[in-house]
Amino acid sequence: MSDPGPTSAFEQDAQLAPIMAHPLQRQVFVCTSKSCAANGSEAVLEAFKAQLIEAGLLYTKRNPDGEVQCLHCGSVGFCAIGPAVLVYPDGIWYAHVTVEDVPEIIECHLKGGVPVERLVRKRMGA
Residues lying near a copy of itself in the complex (CB under 8 A): 10, 13-14, 16-20, 24, 27, 29, 59, 69, 71-81, 86, 88-89, 91, 95-96, 121-122, 124-125
CB of 36 to a copy of itself, least distance (A): 12
Cis peptide before 83 (omega within 30 of 0): yes
| 3-state SS assignment for residue 51 | helix
Return the number of the residue (14 or 108) whose C-beta is nearest a copy of itself. 14
Return the number of the residue (19 or 103) whose C-beta is nearest a copy of itself. 19
CB of 81 to a copy of itself, least distance (A): 5
- Report d(CA 23, CA 93) in Å as an integer: 22
CB of 2 to a copy of itself, least distance (A): 28
Return the number of the residue (1 or 118) whose C-beta is nearest a copy of itself. 118
CB of 124 to a copy of itself, least distance (A): 5
What is the b/e burial string over 3-23, where b = at least 16 CB atoms within 10 angstroms of the residue's CB? Answer: eeeeeeeeeeeeeeeeeeeee
Provide CB contacts within 8 A for 89, sequence distance 6+: 26, 27
